[in-house]
Amino acid sequence: MILRTVLVALLLALAPPAAAQELIGSYTAYIGRDDLYNSKGARLGEPWQVLRQDRANFHRFGIAQPGDEWDPFFGSIENRAAMERMIMNGRIDPAARRNLLQGGATVFVRIYGSGGVGRYLDVTVAR
């Protein structure tokens, strides 16, 4: 009985926050070469950096690959800046992380939050 209680508590602690969070947006994007480097030409090494660059390329610089979609959230520079926190609060598995950082992959991103404030991302990557 104690083991079961501990397991349930552990699973609840590891799960992304679900209470009062709703899907506030989603998008699909192809991660191309332009998304793997920042504006100064430095190679990006974290998933949130690549996703943030992809959204900056799309919304700010007008750089898009076939498969890139508009999203209702990351047109704002402030929301793009929150992407690191949102990924840390969300979910991306290790294989998806590797595929994203290699580029040449399609990502499906779901944005969860409340009151128009993003709290976490759920990122799926397909090659």
**Residue reference for tokens 């974290």:** 46
User: Coil, helix or strand for 76?
Assistant: coil
Work out whether strand 105-114 and strand 117-126 pair parallel, antiparallel, or are unpaired. Answer: antiparallel
Laid out side by side, the sheet with 117-126 consists of 22-31, 105-114, 117-126
- Residue ranges of domains in the chain: 19-126
Which residue would you say has higher pLDDT here, 16 or 109?
109
Q: What is the pLDDT of residues 18-50, one digit of tens each?
A: 557 999 999 999 999 999 999 999 999 999 999
Which pLDDT score, from 0 to 100, does residue 13 have?
46
* Mean pLDDT across the chain: 87
Q: What is the pLDDT of residues 51-62, one digit of tens each?
A: 999 999 999 999
User: Given a cut of 80, is residue 97 above it in pLDDT?
Assistant: yes
User: Facing residues of 27 across strands?
Assistant: 109
Name the helix (H) or strand (E) containing 101: helix 94-102
Among the listed residues 121, 119, 102, the one whose alpha carbon sits nearest the alpha carbon of residue 30: 102
User: Facing residues of 45 across strands?
Assistant: none
Which pLDDT score, from 0 to 100, does residue 52 have?
96
- For 7, half-sphere exposure in the C-beta direction (CA atoms, 13 angstrom radius) is 4
Which pLDDT score, from 0 to 100, does residue 2 have?
52
Q: Is 63 within 8 Å of 103 (Cβ atoms)?
A: no
Which pLDDT score, from 0 to 100, does residue 6 have?
37
